[in-house]
Structure 1
Amino acid sequence: PYYEILTSSLPKKQVCERWHGRIAIKKGYWITADSIFKNVLVKAKQNLTGYNKLKVKREAAYYVANNYKITSQLDSALVYFNRCIIYSNRIPSEEESGFLINSTLYIGAIKDKNGKYDEAIKYYNEVLEMREFGNSHSLAESYLDRLDKRKMK
């Protein structure tokens, strides 16, 4: 495919590399996407031009975290979702990004799954204080309702 030609002929062009990762995600090629975005983070750590931007690191951290979540490596997912939140909070913006909102929601879900209900509630409530992204509010509300029902038992 065309994106492979671009990334192989222009391997240092982070835009092409990130698009290759995004396309891999859309096609469900999570192993490929994970490898690409981990590579982006390595290049960011090396402070390579184009990779050392907060938006680039935020996106890469999010997709690495998401792959860890999908493969049930929840401790690693927490590390990268937290990095995504840190990067997001350092980016001046008028509204929260989808990366920030989803990372916050997913951390809540992981805390919930790990039995850390009070922490999960904190994250779900944070999501409700943010703008709606996709169905983030309805998910957070349903998770909170489920936790409320659990407390009543």
Structure 2
Amino acid sequence: MDHYEIPWSFYFQFNHSEQIMRIYLSNLFKLKEAIPNNYYVLSYDDIEKFLHKYDLRKLNYFFDKKVTNTFDMVLKVKDFTRKKGYINLHALCYIESKTMHCVSIDVMEVIKIKKMFDKHILNTNVHLEIRNSEYDFKEIKDKKIEALEDHLHELIYRKYSN
């Protein structure tokens, strides 16, 4: 089976009870956005400024619904450096013991993968890999990463198929 490595933007953990978000940036995203730090911890007030006004509600919604499977959502996050505009991301997530774990991928990257499938540049049964050498996702168990990678296939066909 072929493999294709997904350029992810950042991994984040959202602790529902403490209302704290930890963000781990990918090297590629840091370079693209000219961001100096690898890691951020956001308080509730910071999260309100960082996420689009409806997206904090989305995070809490999944806790309220007690979602146990992997799921996805579109998030709009404030641009890290320019302070104007938003970056649109697909977040692939799961919840484990009051903490949401999500890997975010730029919407345009997901569309690019779909176009590669459509043009047969990538075989539709290719294994889409979120893991890579720059970050090993110590916080996420391998089975969960595999579930998120499988969910990415579902997302592509659900959102971007005619």
Q: Name the TM-score class by shorter chain.
A: under 0.3
The structure whose residues are more often strand, as a share, is 2
Bigger relative contact order, structure 1 or 2 (CA pairs below 8 A, ≥6 apart): 2
The structure whose residues are more often helix, as a share, is 1
Tell me the TM-score normalized by structure 1: 0.25
Structure with greater Cα Rg: 1
